């Protein structure tokens, strides 16, 4: 007797690594947040957020194995709760996402940023939503270096939002020279020429 299989052998693949899982969800969050913030103020509602989630999660990678489907449900739920905490009228899209040469490090720095929030006419906060636990001090230092070169006006604070822990961590913008020294120490301690993350890179070659 022959049975039909829902998962043909020809489609079977090695299970993804934890790093690959985190990359999939982080990149998806970045796309969803970018599209949501790019909406007009009056369009930033749950219906349009769900539309953004739907649009960016049609990838079959989300539906196998089953634990990833559970994670997708959590992602949707957490994003819906998260945006309720935003001042939707003060959000703005960050569009300057290009590699920038950092002379002191002799490397190109790229960071994918999507969202800022105005606090008043003279100050704003950069917000970055994180799927998994990351080295927040490293990210804050990299962002502090990046915005020093990328923007005419720099933020007063950086907020890293742990979407799974449902917590936001506020950091003051690091002094430029202090941030550079911290990154130099990371490079020296790891004997690495480059630093790579899901949404950032620090390399001798210009990349994006």
> Burial level of 183, CB count in 10 A (0-12/13-18/19+)?
buried
Say if residue 111 is in the same domain as residue 196. Answer: yes
pLDDT tens-digit profile of 128-169?
A: 999 988 899 999 999 999 999 998 888 999 999 998 877 889
Report whether 115 contacts 91 (CB < 8 A): yes
Q: Distance between CA 128 and CA 116 in Å, rounded?
A: 9
Find tokens 């961590």 and name the residue: 169
Report whether 198 contacts 26 (CB < 8 A): yes
- How is residue 184 written in tokens? 């130099």
Asked, for residue 177, whether it belongs to a domain, the answer is yes
Say if residue 99 is in the same domain as residue 186. Answer: yes
Domain boundary among 37, 59, 83: 83
Q: Domain residues for 58?
A: 17-83
pTM of the complete model:
0.86
Q: Distance between CA 53 and CA 199 in Å, rounded?
A: 19
Domain boundary among 54, 83, 112: 83
Say if residue 73 is in the same domain as residue 101. Answer: no
Q: Which helix (H) or strand (E) holds 70?
A: helix 66-83
Say if residue 103 is in the same domain as residue 197. Answer: yes
pLDDT tens-digit profile of 34-92?
A: 999 999 999 999 999 999 999 999 887 777 666 677 888 888 999 999 998 888 899 99
Report whether 69 contacts 57 (CB < 8 A): no
């Amino acid at each position: 007797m022959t049975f039909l299989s829902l998962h043909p052998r020809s489609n079977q693949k090695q299970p993804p690594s934890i790093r690959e899982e985190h990359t999939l969800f982080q990149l998806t969050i970045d796309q969803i947040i970018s599209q949501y913030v790019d909406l007009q103020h009056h369009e930033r509602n749950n219906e349009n957020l769900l539309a953004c989630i739907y649009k960016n999660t049609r990838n079959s990678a989300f539906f196998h194995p089953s634990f990833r489907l559970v994670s997708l449900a959590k992602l949707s739920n957490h994003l819906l709760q998260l945006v309720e905490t935003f001042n939707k009228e003060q959000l703005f899209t960050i569009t300057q996402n290009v590699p920038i040469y950092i002379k002191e490090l002799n490397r190109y720095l790229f960071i994918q940023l999507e969202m800022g929030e105005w606090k008043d006419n003279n100050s704003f906060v950069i917000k970055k939503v994180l799927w998994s636990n990351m080295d927040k001090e490293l990210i804050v230092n990299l962002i502090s270096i990046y915005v020093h070169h990328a923007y005419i006006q720099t933020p007063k604070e950086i907020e890293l939002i742990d979407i799974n822990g449902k917590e936001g961590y506020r950091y003051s913008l690091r002094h430029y020279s202090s941030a550079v020294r911290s990154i130099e120490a990371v490079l020296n301690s790891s004997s690495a020429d480059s630093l790579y993350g899901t949404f950032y890179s620090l390399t001798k070659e210009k990349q994006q």
